[in-house]
Structure 1
Amino acid sequence: MAGRALISQGARALLTSCGFLVLRQSHLAARLSRPLATSSLLQLPLIAAMLPTGRRIGVITYDAASLTPAHFLEAGVADPSALPPVAGLPRDGAFHGMIEKGEPYDHARLAAEVLEAVAGLLQREPTIGAILLECTNLPPFTGLIADRFGLPVFDVLTLGRWLHAGISGE
Structure 2
Amino acid sequence: MIAAGGKSIYGASVGILMLDARFPRIPGDMGNALTWPFPVHFRIVRNASPDLVVRRGATGMLDAFVDAARELVDEGVDGITTNCGFLALFQKELSEAVSVPVVTSSLMQVEMVNRILPAGKRAGVLTISASTLTEAHLRSAQVPEGTPVGSTEGGQEFTRAILDNELTLDVEKARADNVEAALAMKEAHPDLGALVLECTNMCPYAADIQTATGLPVYSIVSLVSWFQSGLRPPIY
- 2:217 paired with 1:153: yes
Structure with the bigger percentage of helix: 1
Q: Would you identify which runs of 4 or more consecutive aligned residues in structure 1 move more than 2 Å? A: 90-93
Q: Is the aligned partner of 1:20 residue 2:20? A: no
Cα distance 1:103–1:92, how it changes in 2: closer, same or farther (>3 A)? farther
Instruction: Return the offset for 1:52.
Output: 1.2
The answer on whether the counterparts of 1:97 and 1:103 sit within 8 Å (CA) in structure 2 is no
Which of 120, 123, 134 does residue 57 from structure 1 map onto? 123
1:5-154 alignment, distance < 5 Å: 5-77=71-143, 79-80=144-145, 83-91=146-154, 93-99=156-162, 100=164, 102=166, 104-154=168-218
2:97 is paired with a residue whose SS is: coil
**Contact 1:139–1:157 (CA under 8 A) maintained in structure 2:** yes
Structure 1 residue 97: deviation in Å? 3.0
Higher relative contact order (CA 8 A, sep 6+): 1
Measured in 1, the distance between the counterparts of 2:161 and 2:72 equals: 30
| Aligned-residue RMSD, C-alpha | 1.4
Instruction: For 2:69 and 2:153, locate their aligned partners in 1 and report how far apart those are by CA, in whole Å.
Output: 33
Counterpart contact for 2:91–2:103, Cα < 8 Å: yes
Partner amino acid, structure 1, of 2:228: H
Question: Which one-letter code corresponds to 1:113 in the other structure?
Answer: D
Structure 1 spans left out of the alignment, 5+ residues: none
**How far apart, CA to CA, are the structure 1 residues paired with 2:165 and 2:89?**
26
- Which sits farther off after the overlay, 39-48 or 102-111? 102-111
TM-score, reference length from structure 2 = 0.68
Tell me which structure has the larger Cα radius of gyration.
2
The Cα of 1:103 is off from its aligned counterpart by 6.1
**Residue pair 2:82, 2:103 contacting (<8 A) in 1 also:** yes
Cα deviation code 1:100-131 (max 9, x no counterpart): 16263111111111111011111100110000
Local SS of the residue matching 2:168: coil
- Aligned residues with identical type, % of pairs: 35
SS at match of 2:200: coil
Name the TM-score, length of structure 1 as normaliser: 0.93
